[in-house]
Structure 1
Amino acid sequence: MSRSLVFAYPGDLSLKTGGYGYDRKVIEGLKQIGWEVELLGLGDGFPAPSDTTLDRAGESLSALPEGSLVVMDGLAFGVLEGFALKEAERLRMVALVHHPLALETGLTEEEQRRFRESERKALSAARHVIVTSPMTARELVANYDVGASHITVALPGTEKASTVPPQNSVPNILSVGTLSRRKGHDVLLSALKQVEDLHWKATIVGSKTLDPATSNALADQVDRLELGQRVELAGEVEEPRTYFAKADIFALASRYEGYGMVFAEALSHGLPIVACHAGAVPEVVPEEAGFLVPVDDVDAFSAALRRLLSDPEERSAKAEGARRAGAILPDWAETAKIISNALDKIS
C-alpha cells in the first residue's frame, strides 16, 4: 500500500540543531519503511515571520490537494492558527511539537501569551500531535487543551557509539547547543571561571548565526573572563559526534529543553553530565549519570564541575552510569516506526 505525506518545515532543514536533526532523521526513517515524503519549505523567520512569509506559507499549504496528510514542524504550526482552523476539515494535519513556543527563554509576558493562544488554536485543528518527550505531552494536555489520546510520544533516536574513554591528560569539557539564551552557555562560562584553578579545557559547539546578539555576548564574556586560552567557541560543525568521542565531561546549562537530544548523545558516549533541572532534562539524565542543578545557579553548576574534575573515581562512576543509560535509549528506526504507526491511524 502506497503511503504518502507532506512534511512542512520552517527555515533551513539542513541546520545543525536538535529540532532540525530530529526532523531529518524522521523523514529518512519514514522513507526507509515505505513512505513517500514530499518536502515543503515554509520560509524563514519562524516563529515570528513577516506577514508576507506567513501569507505565503498559508497559500502553499492551502494549495495542497484535499485529504493530504501534512506533518508540520511546530515551530511553524504554532503560529499558523488561521490556516490551520480554515483547513482543518480539508487537510489531515499533524503537528510535530518539539516544545511549546511560549516556553522559549527570553520572551515577554505578552509574547508568551500570544504564542500560547496561537498554538492552542492551531493544535485544536490538528488530527494528531507528535511530541518528543512525555513532559511535552503533559504540558499540552494540561495547558493547551489537547487530549492525551491525540498525542503520540516519539522519543528522539540515538545512534549507538563507542564508549571507550578518551586518553586526555587534561579533562575535556564539551557543550553542544545553539548559541542562544535558552542554552545557558553564559552560566557555563561563569561556572568555568570558578574552577579555573583546576586542569581542564572546554569546547562549545553550536551555531553562532541563529542568535547573533547572544553569540557576540558569549564571545565578549570569554574575553572578559580571560578564558580565551581554555575555551573554544567552535561554532556549527559538520559532525558533532567526533567531539563527543574526544570528551571527558558533557556540560550544558539549558534553561529549558523539550527533550534534549544532546544529553542522550552524551549518554550514548558514556559521558558524565552536568546540567540543569529544567524541562525534560531530568527524564533524560538519570542521577547515576551526572548532576542536575537549579537553573541559573552558577555556584551549583561550578560545584558539580569541580566534583567531576577533582575526583576521578566520581567521574568514572558517573561515566559508567551514563553508559548504562545510553545503552537502553531507542534508535531512530524505533522513532520512525512509532510515528509511522500513528500516521497510519489518521483518517
Structure 2
Amino acid sequence: MVLRIRFAHWRSPQASGGNRYDEELVAGLASHGIEVDVTRVEGAWPLASPEQRRGFVELLAEGEHWLVDNIVGSAEPGAIRAATGRGARVTLLMHYFPADDPSLPASERARLADSEAESVAAATRVVVPSAWAAGQVAMRYGRGDAVVARPGVEPAGVADGSSGAPTLLWLSRLTDGKDPLTFVQALSRLTDLAWTARLVGPDDVDPDLSARVRQFVVDSGLSGRVTVEGARTGADLEEAWRAANLLVHTSRAEMYGMVVAEAAARGIPAIVTEATGATEARTAGAEFVPGDVEGLSEALRAWLSDGELRASWRAEALERRGTVPGWDQTVASVAAALQG
C-alpha cells in the first residue's frame, strides 16, 4: 500500500545541509512506498511575516499526513496543533534549533524557544539528525521519543592530503554561527609551525564578517598561509577535499555536522566543537569548547607538532571511514518514522 504525504518544505537560499537532506528524502522515499507531494513554503522563516504565518496555517488545514521542516513548523505551532487536532499526522523534521541561531535577535530566540516547545509537543512524531539532537529535544522540551535519522554521505575516495606542510581545511558558510574568526585567531598563535589553511564556503551571506576575517588574516601576517576562497563546487571542491590533512569545524551550534561526515568518508580526521552534534559525525580527531581560541590553538598545536599523533588520527579515520552512513540509511529511518 502506498503512503501519500505532503511535505511543507522551506529551502535555504544558500547551499545547506538541510537542503541536501530534504532533497535526498524526496528522491528516496518512493523506494519505500511513500509518495511525496512537496509544497515549498516561502518567507523569511523563522521570522516570517503575519501573512506568511497565516498562509502556513491555511496550508496545514488540509491533508492527512504531513512532513514539516521545523524552521517553519517551530515558528507557527498553531498550524501543527490545528492539524493534529483534526486527526492529521504531522512529522516535524528538525534541522536546527532556532533558539541557538546567533544571527537572530535575543528576544526572537527566546520567543522561538517557547513556540518550538509547543510545536514539538503538538507533533505526531519528531525526526532529528543525531542522537545528540534527540537528547536535546528530550532535555529542552521533555519529548524523549525523537527518531534519529543521521544524514548520509555519497561514497568518496580517500583524500591524499598535502605531502609537505599539513593543509587545514575549514569548509562552511562564513557566518557568526559557523565562527570562522575563532579559526583564524587560533592560527595566528601557530606561526612558529609549518601549515597552510584554506577557508572554503560562501562568503556573501555576511559581507561584514567576511571582510573582518580577511582583514584579520592580513593584520596577523597570515596572508601567505591562509586563503579565504569563497564557494567551491564540483571539481574545485573535490580538489579542496583531496588536499586536506585535517578538517577544522568551529560551528557554535550544530545538529549533526554533515561536512564532518563528508571528511570522515574521505579518511580525514577533524577537530570539532564539543557539546554539538558534530561530535557524532567525527570518526577521528579532537574537540574543543565553541569559541575557545586558546583551546583550538592548543589542539592544533598538539596535532601539528606530533607526527605520531597525526599518524594515529589518520589511521583511525581510514579504519572507520566505512562506518559513515549512506543516504539510503537516512531515507530508511525517516520512512520507518513516517510509516510507524
Q: Report the TM-score when normalising by structure 2.
A: 0.90
Q: Report the residue type matching 2:127 in the other structure.
A: I
C-alpha separation in 2, matches of 1:50 and 1:210: 21
Answer whether contact 1:271 1:322 (CA < 8 A) is retained: yes
Aligned to 1:224: 219
Q: What's the CA shift for 1:94?
A: 0.8
Structure 1: give runs of 5+ residues left out of the alignment. none
Q: Which moved more, 1:106-115 or 1:167-176?
A: 106-115
Distance 1:54 1:237, change over 3 A: farther
Q: What's the CA shift for 1:118?
A: 0.6
C-alpha separation in 1, matches of 2:187 and 2:274: 19
2:79 aligned residue (83, 86, 90): 83
> What is the 5 A alignment of 1:173-192?
173-192=168-187
Aligned to 1:96: 93
Provide, for residues 174-220 of structure 1, a one-character-per-residue CA deviation record: whole Å limited to 9, x for no partner: 11122111212110010111112333222212222333443333233
Residue 276 of structure 1 pairs with residue 258 of structure 2? no
C-alpha separation in 2, matches of 1:227 and 1:61: 52
C-alpha separation in 2, matches of 1:209 and 1:55: 31
Residue 210 of structure 1 pairs with residue 205 of structure 2? yes
Distance 1:113 1:166, change over 3 A: closer
C-alpha separation in 2, matches of 1:5 and 1:229: 53
CA RMSD in angstroms, aligned pairs only: 2.2
C-alpha separation in 1, matches of 2:45 and 2:212: 23
Residue 327 of structure 1 pairs with residue 326 of structure 2? no
Q: Which moved more, 1:235-244 or 1:251-260?
A: 235-244
> What is the 5 A alignment of 1:43-62?
43-62=42-61
Q: What's the CA shift for 1:242?
A: 4.1
Q: What's the CA shift for 1:256?
A: 1.9
Residue 6 of structure 1 pairs with residue 11 of structure 2? no
2:120 aligned residue (117, 120, 123): 123
Provide, for residues 24-79 of structure 1, a one-character-per-residue CA deviation record: whole Å limited to 9, x for no partner: 222222134343222211113211123333333333343xx431x21111111110
Q: What's the CA shift for 1:133?
A: 0.9
Provide, for residues 63-116 of structure 1, a one-character-per-residue CA deviation record: whole Å limited to 9, x for no partner: xx431x211111111102122222223432110112322122365553332111
Structure 2: give runs of 5+ residues left out of the alignment. none
Provide, for residues 288-328 of structure 1, a one-character-per-residue CA deviation record: whole Å limited to 9, x for no partner: x1121222221221122222223333212101112223221
C-alpha separation in 2, matches of 1:338 and 1:298: 37
Q: Which moved more, 1:180-189 or 1:324-333?
A: 324-333
Aligned to 1:158: 153
Residue 267 of structure 1 pairs with residue 238 of structure 2? no
C-alpha separation in 1, matches of 2:291 and 2:99: 19
Distance 1:244 1:70, change over 3 A: same
Aligned to 1:234: 229
Residue 257 of structure 1 pairs with residue 232 of structure 2? no
Answer whether contact 2:99 2:110 (CA < 8 A) is retained: yes
Aligned to 2:298: 303
C-alpha separation in 1, matches of 2:228 and 2:253: 21
> What is the 5 A alignment of 1:1-40?
1-12=1-12, 15-40=14-39
C-alpha separation in 2, matches of 1:262 and 1:110: 30
Residue 41 of structure 1 pairs with residue 37 of structure 2? no
Residue 338 of structure 1 pairs with residue 336 of structure 2? no
Distance 1:39 1:279, change over 3 A: same
C-alpha separation in 1, matches of 2:33 and 2:171: 33
**After the TM superposition, which parts of structure 1 deviate over 4 Å for at least 4 consecutive aligned residues?**
106-109
Q: What's the CA shift for 1:226?
A: 3.5
Q: Which moved more, 1:151-160 or 1:222-231?
A: 222-231
Q: Report the residue type matching 2:5 in the other structure.
A: L
Provide, for residues 240-291 of structure 1, a one-character-per-residue CA deviation record: whole Å limited to 9, x for no partner: 44422221111121212111111111111111212221312333335xx112
Distance 1:241 1:97, change over 3 A: farther
C-alpha separation in 2, matches of 1:61 and 1:208: 36
Q: Report the residue type matching 1:4 in the other structure.
A: R
Aligned to 1:138: 135
Distance 1:167 1:212, change over 3 A: closer
C-alpha separation in 1, matches of 2:239 and 2:9: 28
Aligned to 2:110: 113
3-state DSSP of counterpart to 2:191: coil
3-state DSSP of counterpart to 1:337: helix
Aligned residues: 337
C-alpha separation in 1, matches of 2:247 and 2:67: 33
C-alpha separation in 2, matches of 1:333 and 1:10: 22
Aligned residues with identical type, % of pairs: 28
Q: Report the residue type matching 1:72 in the other structure.
A: V
